[in-house]
Amino acid sequence: MIDLKRLAEADYRAGIERKGAEPDLIDQLISLSSRHHDLQLAVEDARARSNAVSKEIGKASPEERPAKIEAAGLVKAELTAAEADYTVVDDEMKALALQLPVPADASVPDGGEDEGTVVATVGEQNAAPPMDHADFGRHLGWVDNELGAAVSGSRFAYITRGAVQVEFALVQYALAKLVARGFIPVVPPVLVREQMMVDAGFFPTDEHQVYGIPEDDLYLVGTAEVPLAGMHRGDRIDESMLPLRYAGFSSCFRREAGTYGKDTRGIFRVHQFDKVEMFIWSHPDKSWDEHELLLEIEREILDELGLPYRVVNIAAGDLGNAAAKKYDCEVWLPSEGAYREVTSCSNYLDYSARRLDARVKGESGSQFAHTLNGTAIPVARMLVFLMEHYQQADGTFTVPEVLRPFTGGVASFAPPA
């Protein structure tokens, strides 16, 4: 939800338009909002009179009451009429406001998909290994797409043997790093109510990407971000508690509608995967520092895993509704000769906190909190990159140095005998 009061500000409006919002919509909303204000005054005035009259009835003697009740009825009719007008405009205004995105930050480049700015490049664009990640996964007995398809359908896979050990090593490695940084580890529910999907900003825009359980009115989350956002819904967080940093581990479920034929090899894009996600509740004055912190952690993980990558400041037109700025970290995928997204981090400013009614309480009153999120480890996709970069000429897999404490010291995996 955007800040309607700031809509008249040139910068605020420009930030929204840069994300591709129709100027007409904004004008409509401004005029609705001014009508809304007038009607609100009218309703409150009518209600004030109604309240006053009603109060008098309570004090009146039994003989006086009938006349007073009749008079009150007239005021009530006025109030009812005013409310009817107000409700119409209020609904219309809210529906429109939900459609508008949070403004892009000034530091975000203009443009759409593929028009982001590369802000850092690390490592070399090395040549492809003998096998791509899909073939190597089959070779090692790590990934079985056919079995997954037979049991659950396309884009489902069995992950077995060493891949499972590496998966849990990745998770433990990330959690250890985040806990050391003061993040609170969380295993959240992965089934949530519809309202939670709305509050977290995924409904109605991304509803088609989400699995639902109609019988119980629940939805499978596509990311732990959703239940993590719910942790402080309606809270007034004392500013001394901030920042609150959470590290959530969960399975993630995505329908991947509209991606038929895209990334069909291996487990690059699957319906179900595990992920360690970072989520921060920040004081509004500090959220840009927290955003840089998220990027720093993501880069540190890629550095320590020894993967070549670049960081992209995503262009305004390619940002989701909720993000004012987003960095993507893209790792070099040798078999494709391209950088592919592995992690990302976004600053939502107060967009999500408004819906969640999550506020920061300080000496100077209260204001909406800022929320940020970033990927620490998307396990399946990380396995894809590792399978290419740590593939040896003899067909074995070498475990990255930093993961070995979490594989029980195992340094190498070979195909099953």
Footprint on this chain of RNA (rule: CB under 7 A): 5, 37, 40-41, 44-45, 47-48, 50-55, 57-59, 65, 69, 72-73, 75-76, 236, 359, 365-366
Distances (CA, A) of 168 to 108, 251, 387, 409: 36, 13, 15, 13
What is the residue whose two structure tokens read 């509803």? 207
Options 50, 287, 335, 344, the catalytic residue: 344
Smaller CB distance to RNA: residue 135 or 194?
194
Maximum C-alpha span of the chain: 102
Contacts 24+ apart (CB under 8 A), 392-399: 393/130, 395/130, 395/131, 395/139, 397/136, 397/140, 397/162, 399/166, 399/169
Residues paired with 171 in a beta bridge? none
Q: How far is the CB of 71 from RNA (least distance, A)?
A: 8
The answer to whether 329 and 343 have CB atoms below 8 angstroms apart is yes
The answer to whether 286 and 243 have CB atoms below 8 angstroms apart is yes
Smaller CB distance to RNA: residue 57 or 186?
57
Smaller CB distance to RNA: residue 73 or 112?
73
Q: How far is the CB of 79 from RNA (least distance, A)?
A: 8
Options 269, 299, 340, 404, the catalytic residue: 269
What is the residue whose two structure tokens read 């800040």? 3
Q: How far is the CB of 8 from RNA (least distance, A)?
A: 13
Q: How far is the CB of 374 from RNA (least distance, A)?
A: 29
What is the residue whose two structure tokens read 């006086």? 64
> In the annotation, is 341 catalytic?
yes
> In the annotation, is 381 catalytic?
yes
Cα–Cα distance, 339 to 25 (Å, whole number)? 36
Query: Do strands 309-313 and 325-333 pair parallel, antiparallel, or not at all (unpaired)?
Result: antiparallel
Smaller CB distance to RNA: residue 221 or 294?
221
Smaller CB distance to RNA: residue 60 or 131?
60
Smaller CB distance to RNA: residue 37 or 94?
37
Q: Is 185 exposed, middle or buried (0-12, 13-18, 19+ CB in 10 A)?
A: middle
Q: Is 199 exposed, middle or buried (0-12, 13-18, 19+ CB in 10 A)?
A: buried
> In the annotation, is 56 catalytic?
no
- At residue 245's C-alpha, the angle toward residues 239 and 246, to 5°, is 135
Smaller CB distance to RNA: residue 5 or 262?
5
Q: Is 83 exposed, middle or buried (0-12, 13-18, 19+ CB in 10 A)?
A: middle
> In the annotation, is 256 catalytic?
no
What is the residue whose two structure tokens read 């809304």? 36
State which H helix or E strand residue 24 sits in. helix 23-59
> In the annotation, is 115 catalytic?
no
Options 115, 256, 336, 341, the catalytic residue: 341
Q: How far is the CB of 417 from RNA (least distance, A)?
A: 34
Active site residues: 254, 269, 341, 344, 381
